[in-house]
């Protein structure tokens, strides 16, 4: 990842090995999407390792929008208020908040950063449905986001 793109994950481990694995793979899945954007590849193998089905299709469109705009993210993303719920040994949900107040789009040619004001929409609630695949990886199958969620605003 570029040095101008950083992450803060404020979701401490739970002590439960399965829930902690969901949190860890959740972190990696978030970074994998940004790596695809940095690579300007809507079919990047990094995110396809962590996303399947409906979520993979949504993510491909999301990444493609950045590719089409010749842009990527820069700044600091903060993730917090994570909760993991298990449904058996192979299904889970991960709900968390994202603070985009210090993250921006950077256009690559010509290189310029689109600095936006902080608003309620700078805070996003995510609800993901995950499944443990045959490789032992928690993959995101469904993803719902709510921009400006009151749950995530300071």
pTM, full prediction = 0.93
Question: 91-104 pLDDT, tens per residue?
Answer: 999 999 999 999 99
Average pLDDT of span 100-115 = 92
Question: 61-72 pLDDT, tens per residue?
Answer: 999 999 999 999
Q: Are 86 and 92 in contact (CB under 8 A)?
A: yes
Lookup result for tokens 């310029």:
112
Q: Are 11 and 79 in contact (CB under 8 A)?
A: yes
Long-range CB contacts (within 8 A, 24+) of 61-65: 62/33, 63/33, 63/36, 63/37
Q: Pick left, alpha or beta for residue 21 (phi over 0 → left; psi -120 to 50 → alpha; otherwise beta).
A: alpha
């Amino acid at each position: 990842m570029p040095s101008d793109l950083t992450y803060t994950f404020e979701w401490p481990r739970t002590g439960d090995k399965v829930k902690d694995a969901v949190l860890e793979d959740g972190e990696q899945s978030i970074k994998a999407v940004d790596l695809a954007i940095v690579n300007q590849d809507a079919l990047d193998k990094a995110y396809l390792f962590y996303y399947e089905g409906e979520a993979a299709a949504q993510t491909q469109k999301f990444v493609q929008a950045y590719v089409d705009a010749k842009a990527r993210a820069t700044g600091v993303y903060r993730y917090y208020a994570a909760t993991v719920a298990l449904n058996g040994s192979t299904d889970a949900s991960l709900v968390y908040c994202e603070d985009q107040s210090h993250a921006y789009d950077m256009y690559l040619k010509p290189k310029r950063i689109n600095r936006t004001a902080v608003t309620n929409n700078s805070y996003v609630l995510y609800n993901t449905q995950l499944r443990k695949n045959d490789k032992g990886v928690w993959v995101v199958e469904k993803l719902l986001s709510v921009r400006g969620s009151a749950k995530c605003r300071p």
